[in-house]
Structure 1
Amino acid sequence: MVVGELGSGRAGSTESPPPDSAAAVLAGLDEQQRTAAAAVTGPVCILAGAGTGKTRTITHRIAYGVHTGVYTPEQVLAVTFTARAAGELRGRLSALGVGGVQARTFHAAAMRQLRYFAPRVLGGPMPELVENKLRVVAGAATRNRLTTDRASLRDLASEIEWAKTTLATPEDYPARAKAAARETPFEPAAVAAVYASYEQAKSRDGSLDFEDLLLVTAYALEEHRDVAREVRGQYRHFVVDEYQDVNPLQQRLLDAWLGGRAELCVVGDPNQTIYSFTGADPDHLLGFADRYPDAEVVKLERDYRSTPEVVGLANRIIGMAPRRRGLPGLRLLGQRAGGPEPRFLEHPDEPTEAAAVAAACRALVDGGLPAAEIAVLFRINAQSQVYESALADAGVPYVLKGGERFFERPEVREAVLLLRGAAAGRDDGALVPTVRDVLASVGWVEHRPPPGGAARDRWQSLSALVDLAVDLVAEQPTLDLAGFVTHLAERANAQHAPTVQGVTLASMHAAKGLEWDAVFVVGLVDGVLPIAQSLNRPDAVEEERRLLYVAVTRAREQLTLSWSLSRQPGGRRSRPRSRFLTGIAPESTAARRTPAARAAVVLDGAAGQLFEALRSWRTEAATAASVPAYVVLGDATLQAIAETRPRTLTELAALPGIGARKLAAYGEDVLATVAADT
């Protein structure tokens, strides 16, 4: 019906809660969240739309189950997809007075169990894990006489991972890859041969990869009754987050854990199914009510993240998707105060698009918005380079998500070692000044980010540690350096990086689960979104639509969607904007404009009006100086001015195409034109 680790260690268990604690757990939830949190016996399916308080709901559900005596904390296993999400679950449960719940990723839970049972199941200690899959894949490729480079090795490794997560053997792979329309790096038969050789190499070395962790753990539960009895006796209640992303291998392990029981709560959003290419199977979520006819299905649709304007656009995008079978659909209901309408901007070429985005980011930062609250999202990682260059030219710091992990950066490792040494020296000084002093010893200077990419990145990493210390002291005034070092170790273990002050550059896939005040979704042309290889498969095209939905719902307040008609300046402006914008964005007028005006087409009404006013002023200035119009200011610069509306010469100087000479010659006139149009 629809209504609106193994081991018996008990450390961390909570004492008996006060009688009113269960009611207090539900008190701060809305009606839909409260219904979900009170459904403590399974099977339960929580359909949680973007920004609807999913994590809050499931942690309160677990806490309510504990406080009402339905759950013993140590008998609850909450499964997440990232170590960071698991750490957040544990932290929130602790704040609700609940300790002892096991919150882990599939792989972490399987590793803990397999390490414990390895002597019984494998006849010896836990095998070594393959830390570098590419090395083993390279050897397998060489044995099969394939010529590879690093990119093709990564693709081969991805194919092997896909095969294993979908439970395809080397013998099955060619047919399964064809049925799934996989874009394989070599002929499917050749990939299958590498896959078989890879498995033989692991067997010969007595090692396991991360997919094997799940497979062997599931096998242990399926084939060893004593192991199954012990694990199922330990874990009685299961919660699985992001259930739309579960693959067949993970589902097999989950089924083995359950052993036919139905004490299961799954949480997911069919509209955020974007990982089918990795083996994720949304049918597990969509078919949940078919599998469990008595399941309670609860919908969370009140969006507390985004303004109604952003929510409305997200609903329109996903509302154009064909209806899928199974569970009911979700329609978000914005709960925040109103904000600006999303903007749709068309540009002549990618560098101009990037320059306009960088100028807008510069204006936001100058206006007081922290750079870390801004994101630029694109479909493929190759699109990042032009935005990295544009932001650097505009003097805007940025962070490339998906690069080296924060706690693995050399400067962070060095800083943590120094902080640990200072803590061992029993430094009794105040935390924040001490952290600043320690980092100053490795060249960090407050408020003075150095020029250059690598030096700037190093400074930002160290500044993030200082900012974290400041935030923690605000919450825990008595925190000392030893406590800070312990906190850093916990964050490193959970890969929970502190905030680095820079505009985030990320792929749409990497942005899932994150949010920012201002988001720029860029490069929205057919062949990029939807990506070219999806165009002959309707199901793949619809996954691309969901990817755009995910990108849009990352924005809290300000949202800009843009595209460019040509890849390079001077190129033919023939690229069609994404089909997903049809009926949503204002109609493109590029084909009806004069050649001079096509250089920068702004679809936002107010900006368009200012753009025309600036062009009129430029014509007069060019005539007076007897020079061509573009010598005064280029169209891309006029567009950046129209979009950002600078109020001072400093703001104007930050825009592309405004050097010292042009600032002196035209700056006051430009500002007067902007002011007159306000």
Structure 2
Amino acid sequence: MGSDGAGVPRPTGASADTAVPRGGTPSAEELLRGLDPEQLEAARSVRGPVCILAGAGTGKTRAITHRIAYAVATGVVPEQQVLAVTFTTRAAGEMRGRLRALGAPRVQARTFHAAALRQLSYFWADAVGGPRPTLIDSKIRTVASAARSCGFQVDRSELRDLATEIEWAKVTQTRPVDYENTVAKEGRTPPMPPRDVARVYEAYEELRSEHNLLDFESMLELTAAMIHERPDIAERIRSQYRYFVVDEFQDVNPLQKLLLDAWLGDRDDICVVGDPSQTIYTFAGATPAYLTGFREAYPHATFVRLVRDYRSTPQVVRVANTVLRAAGSGAAPREHRIELVAQRPDGPEPSYTEYDDEPAEATSVAGKISALIDSGVPAREIAVLFRTNAQSAAYEQALGDAGVPYTVRGAAQFFDRPEIRAALHTLHGAARGDDGAPMVATVRHLLQPLGLTEQPPEGRQAREKWESLAALAQLAEDVAAQRPGAGLADFVAELQARAATEHAPGFEGVTLASLHAAKGLEWDAVFLVGLTEGMLPIVYAETPEQVEEERRLFYVGVTRAREHLHMSWSLARSPGGRRTRKPSRFLDGLRPESPSPAGRRGEPRRRKDRVLRCRVCGATLLEAAERKLGRCLDCPSPYDEELLERLRQWRREVSAAQKVPAYVVFTDATLQAIAEQEPPDTAQLARISGVGEAKLKRYGEAILALCAGATPEQVSKADREETP
């Protein structure tokens, strides 16, 4: 997965990678090779102010890194005086890695927060004095204390909303005393009555000051104030950094702009890069106004538009352009919208599928994904994207039932996970005494005590830990395949380089992610699901501006796809429910005018008789776990505990032999249902949710033998004897 299409095959010439001499520093002219005309214009515009409007997949990271490297190579600026600002540590790491390869390893590429923290820490004793504050990365605990001090009892979800609202107030430079008037003027709907939010906000700031706590917003504000109030410090910082590049400029908020202006002073050697059509964080205070107003702020600025899309097929690009053409009054000015021009060969047409209910949609999507994998598309190059995280559960269930491995995006950064930090420490120590043993075997041996078992464990958290370690082991195999003879020290060096650039190894599984979490990523195949009114646009998007932000979110989802794009929606939440949902308005002009139900387009339509009832009390089953078990979760149902343990032992052996997570064979809920119902024959086994035709064919005889009393050892022996 890349951030600007760099990972996809490209034609030679304008979009080919720059040829950099192995082991040497590229010359200035070599840095310009392979750039298309617009990228070349951006790279040669080495003096600011410069504004690069870069559409999705047009190679913006490529353009700005080559611009920086070219400016360094031609003597325009020393590399240590360049500050490239991004919004995520991953993007900063990727930029540092590219610049290092282009011969500019000393360029500083940091997030706003990382750059501010570095400066504030360095000058703290001189500029502020006193004990250094404790930096907090989460406001939840302090907001909870503030709410209690105001007499409010709020649950954890309300606390998260309050913390988010306080962050918005701080980045927009709204003080507690002004909060009520500001939200009224902005038409914003806070999580509590505005007066109550203002009280909690004020109490939060008092507690933060009392306990010497520093949040990210205050850190930016203090850094900007230090530069404004101390000319001597401002001079030192401005003499250090003379050349600025800001990526994703459409996502800058007022507080970040305040700090950027402090860094710049009266200079204008700045290059900004962004796309107003990918503004999806205005709810958090971001505004595209600084990008769209750049010409007004700098009338003499150079403007470059990157329009050649190297990521997606013409079919996907056509959808993306159509989505933006339909934008309404709340969208960015038309002169700032980019009409993408596809550069890749033709691909399959995007699909639009309507389902009767959510379980039918999830099951069908899982089946399509399984077919894609069978056709040769790697699982890691497939994503299911949805509007809210709550939609993830149905697809986790369906993919598990289909035997497709998956990973849910949004967990901790890979190299920040405790198990990965422990693994790096262990591998680094072992590399000092490397005795030349086979690298892959050594890595697996060292990771075993940390949790890399032969059988993937049960439980989501344990599985996520196992997946992280398994990704390291897979990376060791990849390194060994690419560099025969590589030893443990070579592998550790590779890991250190990846950690420095936040280049995490991929887990061989389908990605499940929200549309917001998918920003900056790309896959060969993307499934956009749950595309109904009330979900996209979300139900609380009421103003034209809010609706257009939802449209931009849809656009971001579409442009994540390189080749396969599948869009779907369901008319009801549950089987047998009222089919009252309507497809998203964003699909107007894209899908057929009179879309047929799924069954009329070759999709298996979910039958009306699929309404399931509890086999204990007869109630209609709505939740996925209940439907799988065939009963209400709180209805008693006896089962053979020894049979359940035999099933689990057999599953562990199968998952180990196939080198897949245990849930890919059968989920816990499916094993529980089998143990409860003890199916005597294939027909009854097939009726259990989660079995399915493919698993029935593959595992049916083994399951029936276990239900009849056979041991896992006997089943395994029988399988071996039948294997030719």
For normalisation by structure 2, the TM-score amounts to 0.78
- Is the alpha carbon distance of 1:75 and 1:479 closer, same or farther for their aligned partners in structure 2, counting shifts above 3 Å? farther
Contact 1:245 1:273 in 2 (8 A): yes
Q: What pairs up with 1:250-399 in 2 under 5 angstroms? A: 250-322=256-328, 324-325=332-333, 327-399=335-407
Structure 1 residue 416: deviation in Å? 3.0
* Residue among 224, 232, 238 paired with 2:230: 224
Structure 1 residue 488: deviation in Å? 3.3
**2:473 aligned residue:** 466
Contact 1:399 1:505 in 2 (8 A): yes
The one-letter amino acid of 1:329's match is R
Cα deviation 1:259-310 (Å, max 9, x = unaligned): 0211000000111010000100110111111111111110001010111110
* Residue among 505, 513, 525 paired with 1:498: 505
* Residue among 497, 517, 521 paired with 1:514: 521
Contact 1:286 1:326 in 2 (8 A): no
Structure 1 residue 437: deviation in Å? 2.3
* Residue among 414, 422, 433 paired with 2:441: 433
| Mapped pair 1:573 → 2:579 | yes
**2:66 aligned residue:** 60
| Mapped pair 1:171 → 2:202 | no
The one-letter amino acid of 1:60's match is H
Contact 1:307 1:338 in 2 (8 A): yes
- Is the alpha carbon distance of 1:476 and 1:208 closer, same or farther for their aligned partners in structure 2, counting shifts above 3 Å? farther
Structure 1 residue 206: deviation in Å? 2.1
Cα deviation 1:620-676 (Å, max 9, x = unaligned): xxxxxxxxxxxxxxxxxxxxxxxxxxxxxxxx9999774489869xxxxxxxxxxxx
* Residue among 434, 444, 449 paired with 2:452: 444
Contact 1:345 1:601 in 2 (8 A): no
**2:14 aligned residue:** none
The one-letter amino acid of 1:542's match is E
Structure 1 residue 125: deviation in Å? 5.3
Cα deviation 1:202-261 (Å, max 9, x = unaligned): 111222111111100100111110011111111111000000000000000000000021
- Is the alpha carbon distance of 1:20 and 1:87 closer, same or farther for their aligned partners in structure 2, counting shifts above 3 Å? closer
Q: Give SS of 1:230's match.
A: helix
**1:407 aligned residue:** 415
The one-letter amino acid of 1:134's match is I
Root-mean-square deviation (Å): 2.7
Structure 1 residue 71: deviation in Å? 1.2
Structure 1 residue 435: deviation in Å? 1.1
Cα deviation 1:502-524 (Å, max 9, x = unaligned): 11000000000000001000000
| Mapped pair 1:533 → 2:534 | no
Contact 2:26 2:103 in 1 (8 A): no
Q: Name the stretch that deviates more: 311-320 or 427-436.
A: 427-436
- Is the alpha carbon distance of 1:294 and 1:544 closer, same or farther for their aligned partners in structure 2, counting shifts above 3 Å? same
**1:37 aligned residue:** 43
Q: Give SS of 2:537's match.
A: coil
CA distance in structure 2 between the aligned counterparts of 1:433 and 1:319, rounded to whole angstroms: 55
Q: Give SS of 1:330's match.
A: coil
Q: Name the stretch that deviates more: 433-442 or 312-321.
A: 433-442
CA distance in structure 2 between the aligned counterparts of 1:171 and 1:589, rounded to whole angstroms: 53
CA distance in structure 1 between the aligned counterparts of 2:688 and 2:326, rounded to whole angstroms: 40
Q: Give SS of 1:172's match.
A: helix
The one-letter amino acid of 1:40's match is V
CA distance in structure 2 between the aligned counterparts of 1:291 and 1:97, rounded to whole angstroms: 33
**1:547 aligned residue:** 553
Contact 2:90 2:502 in 1 (8 A): yes
CA distance in structure 2 between the aligned counterparts of 1:559 and 1:470, rounded to whole angstroms: 31
**1:14 aligned residue:** none
CA distance in structure 1 between the aligned counterparts of 2:255 and 2:346, rounded to whole angstroms: 44
* Residue among 161, 166, 182 paired with 1:155: 161
CA distance in structure 1 between the aligned counterparts of 2:420 and 2:25, rounded to whole angstroms: 46
Cα deviation 1:41-76 (Å, max 9, x = unaligned): 000000111111111110000010011110110110
Structure 1 residue 351: deviation in Å? 0.6
Q: Give SS of 2:255's match.
A: helix
Structure 1 residue 131: deviation in Å? 4.0
CA distance in structure 2 between the aligned counterparts of 1:193 and 1:538, rounded to whole angstroms: 30
| Mapped pair 1:245 → 2:251 | yes
Contact 1:289 1:326 in 2 (8 A): no
Q: Name the stretch that deviates more: 424-433 or 118-127.
A: 424-433
Cα deviation 1:371-405 (Å, max 9, x = unaligned): 11100000011111111111111111111111243
Cα deviation 1:333-369 (Å, max 9, x = unaligned): 1111110000000000001000001111111222222
Structure 1 residue 450: deviation in Å? 5.8
**1:192 aligned residue:** 198
- Is the alpha carbon distance of 1:471 and 1:265 closer, same or farther for their aligned partners in structure 2, counting shifts above 3 Å? farther
CA distance in structure 2 between the aligned counterparts of 1:419 and 1:523, rounded to whole angstroms: 43
Cα deviation 1:8-33 (Å, max 9, x = unaligned): xxxxxxxxx99981111001101110
Contact 1:419 1:435 in 2 (8 A): yes
Contact 1:310 1:559 in 2 (8 A): yes
CA distance in structure 2 between the aligned counterparts of 1:176 and 1:312, rounded to whole angstroms: 40
Contact 2:97 2:501 in 1 (8 A): no
| Mapped pair 1:563 → 2:576 | no
Contact 2:276 2:336 in 1 (8 A): no
Structure 1 residue 440: deviation in Å? 3.8
Q: What pairs up with 1:114-129 in 2 under 5 angstroms? A: 114-124=120-130, 126-129=132-135
Which runs of no fewer than 5 residues in structure 1 stay unpaired? 1-16, 591-597, 616-651, 665-678
The one-letter amino acid of 2:524's match is D
Q: Give SS of 1:348's match.
A: strand
Structure 1 residue 78: deviation in Å? 0.2
Structure 1 residue 479: deviation in Å? 5.0
CA distance in structure 1 between the aligned counterparts of 2:411 and 2:338, rounded to whole angstroms: 33
CA distance in structure 2 between the aligned counterparts of 1:220 and 1:518, rounded to whole angstroms: 48
| Mapped pair 1:89 → 2:95 | yes
Which runs of no fewer than 5 residues in structure 2 stay unpaired? 1-22, 608-685, 699-724
Contact 2:25 2:103 in 1 (8 A): no
Contact 2:532 2:583 in 1 (8 A): yes
**2:711 aligned residue:** none
Contact 2:26 2:102 in 1 (8 A): no
Q: Name the stretch that deviates more: 432-441 or 519-528.
A: 432-441
Q: Give SS of 1:499's match.
A: coil
Contact 1:59 1:93 in 2 (8 A): yes
- Is the alpha carbon distance of 1:19 and 1:73 closer, same or farther for their aligned partners in structure 2, counting shifts above 3 Å? closer
Contact 2:87 2:112 in 1 (8 A): yes
CA distance in structure 1 between the aligned counterparts of 2:376 and 2:396, rounded to whole angstroms: 21
Contact 1:376 1:504 in 2 (8 A): yes
Q: Give SS of 1:103's match.
A: strand
Contact 1:114 1:126 in 2 (8 A): no
* Residue among 215, 218, 235 paired with 1:212: 218
CA distance in structure 1 between the aligned counterparts of 2:29 and 2:415, rounded to whole angstroms: 40
